[in-house]
């Protein structure tokens, strides 16, 4: 009897040990899969991320300024078309008075430190996107993200993002992940990511197999909608500024429109608005050519067009 009890104890201990090994093995296996996914994403996609350097000229009522700046863009075709966030280039809702425009634009690919001269092709103030075209692309094609070869994830599915750190950190590549946490129907179809997913505005989001899903965008209501309920607007700031995902199919449509838009080398020089004119302008309303680069005139209460506007010659 005692021997049987010993065997039962030993058998139980073996069973517990086996269960513990399974429990430990599962997290280790998941960690290995995550590492492999990260490595694969960086290997396949990092080369499509470029640095966009420019001088942002801002026209003010009393003073003008010109500051060197840099943002990250994504190459979206083999001949040098780059997609990036409009706000980083002085467009959108970040400065509704006067004019601001990127000049002396250069695209840095890989380890290039000089950059390739480029021009602002078009902006879309409603989607918060901008397109930059390399003026004289080299004979060798660029690595790029093909948004026509996309996937549509379902609720709860895993998402991966890539971003580059700043110049100070040698533009190191950082991977982040999250999941599809929701979906909107208005003002348009957008995917809502869970916390943890990081990618700059205008930069792509991927499924775990590496297929592109869409790009991060910032969505803000127009002035008429903002003024209707200030506290509701402020309460929704996290949703607007936290980043939403514009599906790849919409990026393809917007890019087609951007290609059809007749762009110039840079926005046309506009006469400086006077201080009196600025005082008359309603807060938040776009007047004239607000951020340079041809975002167009927006009448009071009118919604911005989703069609990209061409920079004026």
pLDDT per position as a tens digit, 239-287: 555 589 999 999 999 999 999 985 533 333 333 333 333 333 333 333 3
User: Which alpha helices (H) appear in 175-302, and where do they start and end?
Assistant: 223-228, 230-235, 237-242, 248-260, 275-280
Q: What pairs with residue 134 in β-bridges?
A: 118
Confidence (pLDDT) at 250: 96
- How many CA atoms within 13 Å lie on the side-chain side of 129? 31
51-87 pLDDT, tens digit per residue, is: 999 999 887 656 678 889 999 999 999 999 999 999 8
- Asked if omega into 254 is within 30° of 0 (cis), the reply is no
Min mean pLDDT across 89-103, 217-231, 285-299 is at 285-299
Structure-token match 């996937």, residue found: 151
Q: Are 202 and 48 in contact (CB under 8 A)?
A: no
Instruction: Show the CA angle centred on residue 214, arms to residues 213 and 215, nearest 5°.
Output: 140
38-54 pLDDT, tens digit per residue, is: 999 999 999 999 999 99
**Could you tell me which of 176, 175, 206 has the C-alpha nearest to residue 191?**
206
Q: Which class is 47-144+259-280 in CATH?
A: mainly beta
Q: Which two tokens stand for residue 271?
A: 């006469």
Q: Is the pLDDT of residue 154 over 90?
A: yes
Write down the mean pLDDT value for the chain. Answer: 75
Q: Are 165 and 211 in contact (CB under 8 A)?
A: no
Q: Which fold has domain 158-249?
A: Thrombin, subunit H (2.40.10)
Q: Which two tokens stand for residue 278?
A: 């600025």
Domains of the chain by residue range: 47-144+259-280, 158-249
165-214 pLDDT, tens digit per residue, is: 988 899 999 999 999 999 999 888 999 999 889 888 899 999 999 999 99
Q: pTM of the predicted model, to two decimals?
A: 0.71
Cα separation, 40 vs 199, in Å, equals 17
- Given this chain, do its domains 47-144+259-280 and 158-249 carry the same CATH topology? yes
């Amino acid at each position: 009897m005692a021997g049987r009890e010993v065997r039962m104890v030993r058998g139980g201990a073996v069973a517990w040990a086996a269960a513990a090994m399974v429990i430990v093995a599962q997290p280790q296996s998941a960690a290995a899969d995550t590492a492999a996914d990260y490595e694969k994403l960086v290997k396949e996609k990092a080369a499509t991320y470029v640095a966009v350097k420019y001088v942002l000229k801002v026209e003010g009522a009393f003073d003008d300024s010109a500051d060197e700046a840099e943002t990250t863009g994504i190459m979206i075709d083999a001949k040098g078309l780059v997609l990036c966030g409009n706000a980083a280039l002085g467009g959108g809702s970040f400065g509704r008075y006067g004019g601001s425009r990127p000049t002396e634009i250069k695209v840095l690919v890989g380890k290039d430190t000089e950059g390739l001269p480029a021009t602002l092709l078009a902006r879309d103030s409603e989607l918060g996107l901008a397109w930059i075209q390399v003026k004289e692309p080299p004979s060798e094609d660029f690595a790029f993200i093909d948004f026509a070869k996309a996937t549509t994830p379902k609720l709860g599915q895993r998402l991966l993002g890539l971003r580059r750190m700043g110049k100070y950190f040698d533009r190191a590549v950082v991977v982040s992940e999250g999941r599809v946490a929701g979906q909107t129907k208005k003002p348009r179809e957008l995917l809502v990511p869970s916390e943890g997913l990081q990618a700059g505005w205008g930069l792509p989001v991927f499924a775990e197999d590496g297929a592109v899903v869409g790009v991060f965008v910032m969505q803000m209501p127009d002035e008429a909608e903002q003024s209707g309920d200030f506290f509701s607007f402020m309460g929704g700031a996290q949703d607007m500024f936290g980043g939403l995902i514009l599906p790849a199919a919409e990026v393809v449509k917007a890019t087609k429109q951007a290609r059809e838009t007749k762009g110039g080398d840079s926005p046309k020089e506009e006469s400086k608005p006077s201080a009196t004119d600025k005082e008359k302008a309603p807060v938040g309303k776009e007047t004239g050519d607000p951020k340079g680069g041809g975002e167009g005139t927006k009448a009071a209460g009118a919604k911005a067009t989703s069609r990209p506007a061409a920079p004026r010659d």
